[in-house]
Structure 1
Amino acid sequence: MLNRLQESDIKLLRVFYAVASCNGFTAAEPVLRMQRPNISAAIKKLEERLDLVLCHRGRGGFQMTKEGEVVFQETKRIFNSFDNFVFNLKTLHDDFSGHITLMLMSGLPKPLMNAVSLAVDSTMAKFDDIHINIQTRLYNEIEHVAVSGECHLVVSSFEMVKPESLVFHPLEVSTRGRLYAHQRHPLARQKDKPVEELKLEDYAAVGINGLSTANYVAEKQKQRLAIHTFSDSYESCLAAVMSGHYIGLLPDYIGQDPANQLVPVGGELFSFEHQLFVINGKNTILNPVLKYFIRELAHFAGQEMGTA
């Protein structure tokens, strides 16, 4: 069993990380510039060091074990932190090159994703030797990844209490949404009734982990959603609502998609508007590259989504 990480272990972990990212030994060969027998030998040696089986390989193809998936996720965090360390170190020498790690909250609206793409393109055009790693995280993971140093910047809404350990850069745009039910749900047939007659607390609702409980309470009308289950993203909340068994809060860009067959209920009773931010941990060095990216994203977000 591994008790202390050595330099040779880092090299083995990089081989495993490449194989897992490429989903196979053959696909990883050009990335690692290694032949398959050497890759296989490195993975076997790593498994011996960790005393774990990380993956199965054979006629059935490449498949990670549960233990391998955990090691892969932890390895990703380690290498992100390494990249961030090197990037920050170069900044101290006025060397603006290296890898930026950008985290996006899952389920961001497509216009904002377009704005991210334009900001990435603009930043890479201005700074010759910059590469940007783009990853996604669930809403309830945003605070952790920003504070931990796992990334440089996060693009997300943030409806929780804003901690002092984070810095928020408003994009001056927002996502709007409301309460939705599927067409099969009993409330769908009552959508035109006055709000006070709907008795929304009688129907099971799905909540989203990390979302402020204030979103589920309408004080003036003295109505409260009856949360029976939770999801971890807008996508999984959508799946629950589409089952016809739950009502849930969803952004309009999801709820108004005709393919989802949803109808808004309750009028403005449970409508919301969530501001969007670029977020970084207070320990992150905002060098000219990161500052430029934030400005560019704010500019393109305004163009793509309009001002809030």
Structure 2
Amino acid sequence: MLSQLHDLDLQLLRLFVTVVESGGFSAAQGELGIGQSTISTQMAKLETRLGFRLCERGKAGFRLTPKGEQVLAATRKLFGAIETFKGEARGMADLLLGELRIGLSEALDNQVLQRLGAAIGRFRQRNQAVQFELISAMPAELERRLLQDQLQLAIGYFSRGQAALDYQPLFSERQQLFCGVGHPLFGHDAIRLDDLAACDLVQHPYRFEEARQPFASGPSSARTEQVECSLAFILSGAHIGYLPEHVAAPWEASGHLRALLPDQAGYQVPFHLARHRGRQPSEAQVAFEEDLLAVFGD
């Protein structure tokens, strides 16, 4: 009785199908390239493996037994399933599968979002069936999620102080110091760096970049991590603070914000693509990183 299927069994079953389709042992010799006695021996081995006769052969000619008919139908189904598997396996060889969870810093420039969209579009042109998830969060939260394997990649302005993470430069954005309508400096003609010392500066708990800010001193009664909240403080006219140029641009154009000493107080903030250095990236992650770097490299 056949309890397990081995390569030899598949070979014997293929011989069996050829014999049936040829109409007998003698007719199958040319198709199989072996003699009739060898075919007979192989068929006997298959019948021994199965535990019953598959065909009658003799003066009356070749014909299948009822069980032989059932084995023939089952064998054709088996070989059909094998061919289907081989075709699907060939298709999967280059198919990118899985899930990609990407973290993004808040309030990204529209041009950055456009490039991110271009990278996603480029990736979708690949042979892939990947589920994407995009998550917006503060840099500290993005790093935490990377460390806890809740994200594969993150784009943001990071401290680069996490030894377990790799950081690759991606782009930079310019930050400027602003005040709003109603602030004493808003209509001041000649502003000096010393004039900023008495101003109430919005503080950012995670803004490690403050160490690089041209102006970082002075009293503060306003504290936030979010860009939108910094904007609200500055628009109040009671505080000055740093904002990305692209965030401030429409408010500056409408006359609600004024840049303070743009040549002296402005500075560049580098954004990085971060990943966990101790995790083996999936094929999909490697491919998407290639697409990201290609788009931002352009």
Change (3 A) 1:187 1:162: same
Matching of residue 289 in structure 1 with residue 284 in structure 2: yes
Report the equivalent of 2:228: 235
Matching of residue 153 in structure 1 with residue 153 in structure 2: yes
1:167/1:279 contact within 8 Å kept: yes
Matching of residue 165 in structure 1 with residue 161 in structure 2: no
Amino acid of the structure 2 residue aligned with 1:163: Q
Indicate the SS of the match to 1:108.
coil
Tell me, which stretches of 5 or more residues in structure 2 are unaligned? Answer: 1-92
Report the equivalent of 2:72: none
- Number of residue pairs matched by the alignment: 203
Amino acid of the structure 1 residue aligned with 2:237: G
The 5-angstrom pairing of residues 43-58 of structure 1 reads none
Distance of 1:143 and 1:288 partners within structure 2: 22
Matching of residue 106 in structure 1 with residue 106 in structure 2: yes
> CA offsets, 1:241-268, max 9 Å, x none?
1111111101111122224721101333
1:120/1:132 contact within 8 Å kept: no
Matching of residue 224 in structure 1 with residue 217 in structure 2: yes
1:103/1:151 contact within 8 Å kept: yes
Identity across aligned pairs (percent)?
A: 17
2:100/2:284 contact within 8 Å kept: no
Matching of residue 182 in structure 1 with residue 180 in structure 2: yes
Indicate the SS of the match to 1:168.
strand
TM-score in terms of structure 2 length: 0.62
> CA offsets, 1:34-72, max 9 Å, x none?
xxxxxxxxxxxxxxxxxxxxxxxxxxxxxxxxxxxxxxx
Indicate the SS of the match to 1:238.
helix
Indicate the SS of the match to 2:258.
strand
Report the equivalent of 2:267: 272
> CA offsets, 1:147-202, max 9 Å, x none?
111111001122x252211111211x210121001122111112x4242451x121
2:213/2:266 contact within 8 Å kept: no
Matching of residue 207 in structure 1 with residue 203 in structure 2: yes
CA offset at residue 289 of structure 1? 2.0
Change (3 A) 1:195 1:267: farther
Amino acid of the structure 2 residue aligned with 1:284: R
1:217/1:225 contact within 8 Å kept: no
2:95/2:129 contact within 8 Å kept: no
Change (3 A) 1:248 1:268: same
Report the equivalent of 1:262: 257
The 5-angstrom pairing of residues 296-307 of structure 1 reads 296-303=291-298
CA offset at residue 302 of structure 1? 4.3
RMSD: 2.3
TM-score in terms of structure 1 length: 0.60
Change (3 A) 1:131 1:226: same
Indicate the SS of the match to 2:150.
coil
Matching of residue 245 in structure 1 with residue 243 in structure 2: no
Indicate the SS of the match to 2:187.
helix
Report the equivalent of 2:133: 133
Change (3 A) 1:269 1:226: farther
Change (3 A) 1:207 1:197: closer
The 5-angstrom pairing of residues 115-126 of structure 1 reads 115-126=115-126
Indicate the SS of the match to 1:226.
coil
Amino acid of the structure 2 residue aligned with 1:99: E
Distance of 1:277 and 1:243 partners within structure 2: 32
